[in-house]
Structure 1
C-alpha cells in the first residue's frame, strides 16, 4: 500500500461515526451487514449513513452488493490488513539489535 492510499483510508477512519460504522462491519465479518441493520444499530439518518458509507467506499474500506431489495455493506479486510501492514512495515527498523 502506498502512502497516498494509506493516508486516504486513515483520513476516512478518522471520523468518529465512520470509525464506529467500520468497526460494526468488521465485527459482522466477511458477509457484512444490510444498510437497514446498520441504520438501526447506529441510529443515524439514512442520508447521513449514506454519506459516511460513500466516504468509506471511496477509500476502498467498504464495498456494497445488492441482493434483491437489500443492499449489503461488506468490509474489505484486504484493505484493512494492508493498512495495518503499512503502519507496521518499518517498525523498529532503525533500532539497534
Structure 2
C-alpha cells in the first residue's frame, strides 16, 4: 500500500460515524449489509449514511454491489489488511513487539 492510500483510508476512518459504519461492515463479513439495514441499525438518516458510505468507498475501504433493488455494502478486506500491514510493516525494527504491547496495556489499565 502506498502512503497516499493509507492517508486516505485513515482520514476516512477518522470520523466517528464512518468508523462505526466500517466496523459494522467488518462484522457483517463478505456478505455485507444493505444500505437500508445499516441506516436502521445505526439510526442514521439515509442522506447522512449515503455521504459516509461514499467517503469510505472513495477511500477504498468498502465496496458496493447491487442485488435486485438494494445496494449492498461490504468491507474490502484486502484493503483493510493492506492498511494494517502498512501500519505494522516496520514494527519494532523486526524484533518481537508482544512484550512491549503488553506492558503498554498494563500501564493504561493502571492509569
Is the shorter-chain TM-score for this pair beyond 0.5, marking a shared fold?
yes
Gaps of 5+ in 2: 96-111
Give the match's secondary structure for 1:29.
helix
* Equivalent position SS for 1:44: coil
Greater fraction of residues in helix: 2
Deviation at 1:87, TM superposition (A): 0.3
> Does the C-alpha gap of structure 1 residues 71 and 94 become closer, same or farther in structure 2, counting only changes over 3 Å?
closer
Work out which of the two has the higher radius of gyration on C-alpha atoms and give 1 or 2: 2
Q: Measure, in 2, the Cα distance between the counterparts of 1:91 and 1:38.
A: 35
In structure 2, the residue matched to 1:89 is: 89
The 5 A counterparts of 1:1-97 are 1-93=1-93
* Greater relative contact order, per chain length (Cα 8 Å cut-off, separation 6+): 1
Question: Shift of the alpha carbon at 1:24?
Answer: 0.3
Q: TM-score, normalising length from structure 2?
A: 0.83
Secondary structure at 2:79's aligned position in 1? helix
Normalised by the length of structure 1, the TM-score is 0.95
